[in-house]
Structure 1
Amino acid sequence: MKDIHELYEDAVELLTQLIETPSLSREESATADIIEEFFANREIPYSKSDNNIWAFANQFDKSKPSLWLNSHHDTVKPNAGYTKDPFLASTEDGKLYGLGSNDAGGPLVSLMAAFAHFYGKELPYNLIMIASAEEEISGKNGIASVIDQLPICDLAIVGEPTLMEMAVAEKGLMVIDAKVHGKAGHAAREEGVNALYLALEDLQKIKEFEFKKVSKFLGKTKVSATVIHAGQQHNVVPDLCEFVLDVRVTDAYTLEEALEELKNSLKAELTPRSLRLQSSHVPEGHVILKVGEKLGMQTYGSPTLSDQALIPYPSVKIGPGDSARSHSADEFIYLNEIHDGIAGYIQLLDTYADMLTQTN
């Protein structure tokens, strides 16, 4: 069995390979090959669907609860602010630089190292490692496409950069297309009903809008108007004004509930583009909350979106790295964060096993 230092060296080597292999969302086949090779070299059986890869740490036992480990291997496009080659893994002053090093390469390889540590061990739960694709775009060929191929889980641990703190709730996202209808007329005469002016009434309400329910961890659900369009000619009163609402929904609401509350307050026709990206939270009394308390982990609500939004089971977000570095120029992760991340995941999974055993 490998010790933490050996697991760490394997993880850094894997992360170096991933950084130096471009894997923009929908273009992750090469990094999927690398992850397959990681499992194959350790004689760990795995399954693959599109660019999602998963493996079981032990023989599946339907009498046991299941625990998912999940992180993603796709990245955003490098932004124009990079001064370093985004596809070159370079180390300076204890930092490993490269696109995807922090989001979410560090959490991914740390989870995979912890999974390798537990592979073949007897556990009171089924442990499944899932390296998913298309997370950065919440794509339909990402984790959402394989959920039906996996056992229902009692808990998913989603690897994202959280400074190894435990995000127990996450905001969902709903984008709404709004339409306000008026009546066309000549601008020089008092004709028609100006859809722009009608929309202004709704936009003023949106500016001041406050949802009724407030989340313990995430605070208020927020709606913002972000795009507007009306009219084609300067001399024609517009009969249609269209605008877009960005709604960041806390765990106090489902997307459907938040939509209904907006519909009851606005005159515009509201059509959500999607109801997929739900908010998430861990139910009170869940074992993972007791584990976090025992380990002295900080808990918080996360404003950023992840694969949690597409996982229909209780989940937490934990990982090495810092969310503030995600999508930034010259992205990096501290090497000691990877080492501590592996150790932290192992301790978390061991403690979870102990607590499950005590309660059964």
Structure 2
Amino acid sequence: MMKKLQTEALELLKCLIETQSFSKEEEPTADLLTKWLVNRGVEVKRNLNNVWAVNKYFDDRKTTILLNSHHDTVKPNQAYTRDPFEAKIEDDKLYGLGANDAGGCLVGLMSAFLYFYDQKDLKYNFVLAATAEEEISGENGIAYLQDIMPQIDLAIVGEPTLLNLAIAEKGLVVFDGKVTGTPGHAAHIPNDQNPIFKALKDLEWLNSYQFSKTSPSLGEVKMTVSQINAGHQHNVVPSALTFVVDCRVTDQYTNAEIAEIISTNTSCEVVPRSLRLNSSFIDPNHELVKAGVAMGKTTYGSPTLSDQCRLTCQSVKIGPGDSLRSHSADEFIYVEEVYQGVEFYIDLLSKIV
């Protein structure tokens, strides 16, 4: 059965690559995934461009594990030398947009779900969710589906991690800052309300502040002033200065706590664009983590965002492929990685069910 699952997973991945599925335009791949599951006897549910299902003998009294990955992709960058929608194997590499991020993970999780789908007396329920809009952290993907699916107690999020376990993931808050002043002619007497100089104290604080709590797996919260803008000509003192802060949040703080700390320590206007992209984690002593470590896998904290940031339960990020290939030109995944992903997910879940 394993060989059959691996072969069919690779063929499904090829079909996904050859079906355009940019964020918010995932209907064709949602159709494809629905048909693939229905043809294998799965009772499928569809909400917007999200495809999901529960195992055949789902029991409300049991703990539920979500198997989640996404089927949307970014748009191909201009450095591509290949047709991004041609699924072509060369030198044991399957090339194509979305092959690595996160097609290999998705077909692996779907295969594992199919393996357990009609088994009786499982310790856990399984919910499979192939979701939309992950690449843009959209509202019509996992965030939308979370209120529709059964209650989820634990999630496995499929993203390329070389099959190691990302047991924590940094959240993100982007802040917009504004300092107002008094405009005037640059040739006149000194203007002590020049917003450029008024901003210096707050910018220095943002650059040097160290948060007191350090995460064992994610390290320190990191704030970076990434954009700044003021003035439009050399002889005019501007009326305002604006800046942007990129803040990567660890599991030691909520996004709201970060916003409060910044507000308390700055005198200018600093407003978060959103507080919804939270950090995530799983207890390192959870049996799923222990099972992965027993299989020779390492654990680490991930600096990159995934659908984990929208989940309200504990979650772990695991998948075949390499995150460094994501969004790259001529994206690829090794064929053997696809096969290993199918086998790994099944073996991992077999150790806890």
Question: Normalising to structure 2: TM-score of the pair?
Answer: 0.96
Aligned counterpart, 2:262:
262
Number of residue pairs the alignment of both structures matches: 351
* Structure 1 segments of 4+ aligned residues over 6 angstroms from their partners: none
Which moved further from structure 2: 308-317 or 204-213? 204-213
The answer to whether residue 305 in structure 2 is matched with residue 315 in structure 1 is no
Alpha-carbon offset, residue 192 of structure 1? 5.6
CA distance in 1, matches of 2:291, 2:94: 30
The answer to whether residue 63 in structure 2 is matched with residue 104 in structure 1 is no
Contact 2:167–2:284 (Cα < 8 Å) also in 1: no
CA distance in 2, matches of 1:276, 1:154: 19
Aligned counterpart, 1:337:
337
Alpha-carbon offset, residue 119 of structure 1? 1.2
Residue 56 of structure 1 aligns with an amino acid whose one-letter code is V
Alpha-carbon offset, residue 181 of structure 1? 1.9
The answer to whether residue 237 in structure 2 is matched with residue 223 in structure 1 is no
Residue 310 of structure 1 aligns with an amino acid whose one-letter code is R
**Percent of pairs identical after alignment?**
52
Residue 128 of structure 1 aligns with an amino acid whose one-letter code is V
Aligned counterpart, 2:119:
121
CA distance in 2, matches of 1:29, 1:268: 44
Aligned counterpart, 1:91:
89
Could you report, residue by residue, the CA deviation over 1:80-103 in whole angstroms, capped at 9, with x for unpaired residues?
Answer: 111111000000111100000000
Contact 1:184–1:192 (Cα < 8 Å) also in 2: no
Aligned counterpart, 1:167:
166
CA distance in 1, matches of 2:107, 2:3: 14
CA distance in 1, matches of 2:345, 2:283: 21
Aligned counterpart, 1:57:
55
**From 73, 76, 90, the counterpart of 1:75:** 73
Alpha-carbon offset, residue 270 of structure 1? 1.1
Alpha-carbon offset, residue 229 of structure 1? 1.6
Residue 27 of structure 2 aligns with an amino acid whose one-letter code is S
SS at match of 1:9: helix
Aligned counterpart, 1:25:
23
Alpha-carbon offset, residue 179 of structure 1? 1.0
Aligned counterpart, 1:203:
203
Alpha-carbon offset, residue 28 of structure 1? 0.6
Aligned counterpart, 1:283:
283
Residue 168 of structure 2 aligns with an amino acid whose one-letter code is A
SS at match of 1:215: coil
Aligned counterpart, 2:36:
38
Could you report, residue by residue, the CA deviation over 1:215-255 in whole angstroms, capped at 9, with x for unpaired residues?
Answer: 11111111111111223443332221111101111111111
Which moved further from structure 2: 318-327 or 228-237? 228-237
The answer to whether residue 328 in structure 2 is matched with residue 328 in structure 1 is yes
CA RMSD of aligned residues (A): 1.3
Aligned counterpart, 2:155:
156
Alpha-carbon offset, residue 204 of structure 1? 2.3
Could you report, residue by residue, the CA deviation over 1:281-314 in whole angstroms, capped at 9, with x for unpaired residues?
Answer: 1135322223223323210001110000001100
Alpha-carbon offset, residue 42 of structure 1? 1.1
Question: Normalising to structure 1: TM-score of the pair?
Answer: 0.94
Unaligned runs of 5+ in 2: none
SS at match of 1:80: coil
Residue 17 of structure 1 aligns with an amino acid whose one-letter code is C
CA distance in 1, matches of 2:168, 2:114: 28
Residue 337 of structure 2 aligns with an amino acid whose one-letter code is E
Aligned counterpart, 1:146:
145
Could you report, residue by residue, the CA deviation over 1:30-75 in whole angstroms, capped at 9, with x for unpaired residues?
Answer: 1011001111111211111110010112232111000000000000
Alpha-carbon offset, residue 183 of structure 1? 2.1
Which moved further from structure 2: 63-72 or 110-119? 110-119
CA distance in 1, matches of 2:247, 2:271: 12
Could you report, residue by residue, the CA deviation over 1:87-140 in whole angstroms, capped at 9, with x for unpaired residues?
Answer: 000001111000000000000001111111111102111111000000000001
Contact 1:113–1:342 (Cα < 8 Å) also in 2: yes
